[in-house]
């Protein structure tokens, strides 16, 4: 199994019910439902347009407890959009990693292990949509059509969604071990 190390550059929480935009915090206690107070907190949640196989509002397992993005992917998105920078807060991200340029391409089942033993499991790619693009547009009004352009620029770069597999405390600056899942010999 391939292992990659990355640095946790920032932790963010979406605790303002008016927006999905996150704000930075220095450490957090992760629970089985994610970050207490975050808009995506919970072991279960009502299905939405991402789960068309269930009637909307059906209670299902929450696979989107946390969103992780990488500095490398954000830099590529900014370059494609011809803007100075894309902040992870604008995408509603909870964790920002440095040193994980292939983050969005990780297979489901890949694991993130923190120094205190906290563990996350990758539940898949976070597909780009126009909502973060609208926030980016607000910061760069001189660039037309960023909301739509973000969907294309964010494809395979928007980060991943994860669930908490083992609760614990994480801090900005932590070194994170990423255990990359392999379809030929998958982790259980």
Question: If DSSP states are collapsed to H, E and C, what string results for 104-151?
Answer: HHCCCCCEEECCCCCEEEEEEECCCCHHHHHHHHHHCCCCCCHHHHHH
If we measure between CA atoms, which residue out of 105, 107, 151, 149 comes closest to residue 129? 151
Question: Which class does domain 2-180 fall in?
Answer: mainly beta
Residue 163's pLDDT is 98
Tally of CB atoms within 10 A around 94: 26
Residue 183's pLDDT is 87
Residue 87's pLDDT is 98
Long-range CB pairs of 49-54 (<8 Å, 24+ gap) are 50/127
Residue 70's pLDDT is 98
Is pTM beyond 0.75? Reply is yes
**For 6-15, 44-53, 65-74, which range has the lowest pLDDT when averaged over its residues?**
44-53
Residue 66's pLDDT is 98
Task: Compute the mean pLDDT over every residue in the chain, rounded to the nearest whole number.
Answer: 96
Domain ranges for the chain = 2-180
pLDDT at 62 over 90: yes
Two tokens, residue 180:
């990359």
């Amino acid at each position: 199994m391939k292992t990659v190390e990355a640095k946790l550059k920032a932790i963010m929480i979406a605790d303002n019910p008016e927006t999905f935009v996150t704000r930075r915090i220095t450490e957090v206690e992760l629970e089985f439902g994610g970050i207490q107070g975050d808009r995506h907190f919970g072991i279960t949640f009502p299905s939405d347009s991402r789960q068309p196989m269930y009637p909307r509002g059906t209670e299902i397992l929450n696979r989107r407890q946390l969103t992780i993005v990488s500095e490398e992917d954000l830099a590529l998105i900014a370059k494609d959009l011809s803007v100075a920078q894309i902040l992870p807060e604008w995408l509603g991200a909870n964790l920002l990693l440095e040193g994980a340029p292939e983050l969005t391409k990780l297979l489901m089942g890949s694991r993130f292990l923190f120094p205190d033993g906290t563990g996350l499991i990758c539940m898949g790619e976070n597909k780009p949509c126009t909502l973060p693009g609208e926030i980016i547009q607000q910061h760069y009004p001189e660039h037309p059509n960023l909301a739509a352009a973000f969907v294309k620029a964010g494809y395979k770069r928007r980060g991943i969604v994860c669930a908490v597999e083992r609760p614990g405390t994480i801090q900005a600056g932590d070194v994170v071990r990423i255990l990359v899942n392999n379809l030929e010999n998958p982790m259980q």
